[in-house]
Amino acid sequence: MANNKEQLENEHPLADTNGRMTVDLADITDVDYPYLSVDYKDGDLAILTDILQIPEFTSLKMGINVLLFCLQGKLQFEVNGRQIVVHERELAIVQSNVTIGNFMISPDFRCCIACMSDRLVKGQLRGYISIWNRALYVNNNNIFKIPEDQPIEQTEHFYELVNYYLTRPRKRFGKEVIASLIRCFLLDICELIEEQSPEMATSGHSQGDQLFNRFLQLLSETEVKRQTVEAYAEKLYVSPKYLSAVCKKASGKSAMQWINEYVMEDIRYYLKETPLTIKEIATKLGFPNLSFFGKYTKRSIGMSPKEFRNQRNKL
């Protein structure tokens, strides 16, 4: 561990003065990490073959979702102060907006890691995102066992397959193939989550957890998601202030942040995956006019709807 804050900041410019480092996919893309073996990286996804060395930080503030399959050995760390131990044949999922730290790693540890942005996870899971959110944000489940009838090599081969399509020269349907693989990967994990989380079907959570779960479900099922917190709170029979406080406590995000994320995921989906005109998309998603829709999209993703659609079509 660095002996003083100045040394830590000089050696690791992404670390704050408390020794905490914020990590997102832009960092993995732009920064060379001596402790990670990175096979592939872009703005939404990074595939890592192993952790070569755990960085010496007090904690890491995660701006990404991390899916770690332990192939051998053991890894121990804390998620928001809660101890997590990952053994061989286990999957650890660390959701975004949490803090991890206090790492301990066995000498024989081997793993495969996928780092995904929130927009990639939401975009591929879409109607099934509530399974992911309930497990990670409501039930605080982070560890899932790989079934005994599934060879450990199968998981490793899947990473290799994804990595092959990601790194090979771009083909005509390359984007669609990669999206299908990632969706298959995430749906398989959701199935694993449901099989190993029987408590998801029970009502044994606090009232706040149940409310957060109902809010996410309502967001998923609502076609026109761009509504006020007050509108959602009214449908859930609670005050807007209470709904926001519950969301913040459960996930680290406010109710408005969740609404905006779901709205933006719909925008990305319709611009990228459908032949609808930009005007038709704006109308479908409840925007009053094209100008407002354009400004909203520009503010959220840094480009106009037309620019985003054209960029995606070039990939």
Reported as a single tens digit per residue, the pLDDT across 173-228 is 887 888 899 999 899 999 888 888 765 554 445 778 788 878 987 887 788 999 99
Give which of 258, 267, 262, 257 is closest to 290, Cα–Cα: 267
**For the chain, where are the alpha helices, taking DSSP H only?**
5-11, 25-30, 118-125, 129-133, 152-167, 174-195, 207-221, 229-236, 240-251, 255-273, 278-284, 290-301, 305-314
Question: Could you report the per-residue pLDDT of 55-71, keeping only the tens digit for each?
Answer: 544 566 677 888 999 99
d(CA 92, CA 143): 5
- 232 to 64, 105, 135, 138, 217: CA distances (angstroms): 27, 44, 22, 19, 11
d(CA 54, CA 234): 46
Question: Could you report the per-residue pLDDT of 272-284, keeping only the tens digit for each?
Answer: 878 899 999 999 9
Sort strands 59-62 and 20-23 into parallel, antiparallel or unpaired. parallel
Q: Kindly provide the b/e burial profile for residues 124-149, where b requires at least 16 CB atoms within 10 angstroms of the residue's own CB.
A: bbeebbbbbbbbbbbbebbebebeee
Please give the pLDDT value at position 205: 56
Confidence class for position 138, pLDDT limits 50, 70, 90: low
Higher pLDDT, 15 or 235: 235
Please give the pLDDT value at position 134: 75
Q: Kindly provide the b/e burial profile for residues 265-299, where b requires at least 16 CB atoms within 10 angstroms of the residue's own CB.
A: bbbbebbbeeeeebeebbbebebeeeeebbebbee
Sort strands 143-145 and 59-62 into parallel, antiparallel or unpaired. unpaired
Question: Could you report the per-residue pLDDT of 149-182, keeping only the tens digit for each?
Answer: 888 888 888 888 888 888 888 788 887 888 899 9
Contact 51, 111 (CB under 8 A): yes
20-24, 140-144, 252-256: the lowest-pLDDT one: 20-24
Say how many C-beta atoms besides its own lie within 10 A of residue 155's C-beta. Answer: 18
Residue 46, strand partner residues: 41, 115
Please give the pLDDT value at position 3: 41
Question: Could you report the per-residue pLDDT of 68-111, keeping only the tens digit for each?
Answer: 999 999 999 888 668 899 999 999 998 887 778 788 889 999 88
Percent over 90 (pLDDT), the chain: 29
